[in-house]
Amino acid sequence: ADIYALGVLFFLMFVGSFPFESDEVFAHHLHTPPPDPRSVNPTVSPALAAIILRCLAKDRERRFPDVATLKAALLTEI
């Protein structure tokens, strides 16, 4: 849950909006794939977009296993 929450914050920081904005936000967080950050803000690099999307993966096993691994990916890609 922490990695997912960081993904939401990264999306907001780098895109300027939340990944889901509607009356059904909770359902979207559970079932809808997040939009590619570059589709909203084309200045987001492909590497950063991939990191954000990995944080927002619906399947916990597809997210970063811990914050240290996420930090390493961020330091490598940005």
Ramachandran bin of 16, using left for φ above 0, alpha for ψ from -120 to 50, beta for the remaining angles: left
Length of the chain equals 78
**pLDDT of the residue at 24:** 77
**pLDDT of the residue at 22:** 67
- Using one digit for the tens of pLDDT, what is the confidence trace for 18-62? 887 767 766 666 667 888 999 999 999 999 999 999 999 999 999
**pLDDT of the residue at 23:** 73
What pTM value is reported for the model?
A: 0.86
Domain count, the chain: 1
The whole-angstrom separation of Cα 25 and Cα 11 is 15
**pLDDT of the residue at 18:** 86
Q: Residue 19: which domain range?
A: 2-77
- CATH number of the domain within which 26 lies: 1.10.510.10
The whole-angstrom separation of Cα 65 and Cα 3 is 8
